[in-house]
Amino acid sequence: EDEKLRLQQLRALRRRWLRDQELSEREPVLPPRQLGPVAAFWERFLQPGGLWRQQVSGQGPGTG
């Protein structure tokens, strides 16, 4: 009975520990990069789903 309780507690602790190892958006490992204006533009421009991508692939507004 004690052994079963101990194993159950160990399992719960291990589960909690594993959950704590997953990084959330609120605790980034690296500090955010300070980009210059040109680098920041390209960073935004190259994001998937950007407006230019939709227009080039023919899915954007004005293609129908």
8 Å CB contact between 29 and 23: yes
Range of the domain at 43: 35-59
pTM for this prediction: 0.35
The pLDDT, as a whole number, for residue 5 is: 94
Residue bearing tokens 């959330």: 24
50 in a domain, yes or no? yes
- Residue 15 to residue 7: CA distance in whole angstroms: 12
- Residue 28 to residue 35: CA distance in whole angstroms: 17
Query: What is the full per-residue pLDDT of the chain (64 aa) written as tens digits?
Result: 899 999 999 999 999 888 887 767 676 677 777 888 888 888 888 888 777 777 887 765 665 5
Q: How many domains does the chain have?
A: 1
49 in a domain, yes or no? yes
The pLDDT, as a whole number, for residue 14 is: 92
The pLDDT, as a whole number, for residue 30 is: 73
- Residue 19 to residue 29: CA distance in whole angstroms: 16
Residue 55 Cα distances to 25, 30, 31, angstroms: 31, 34, 34
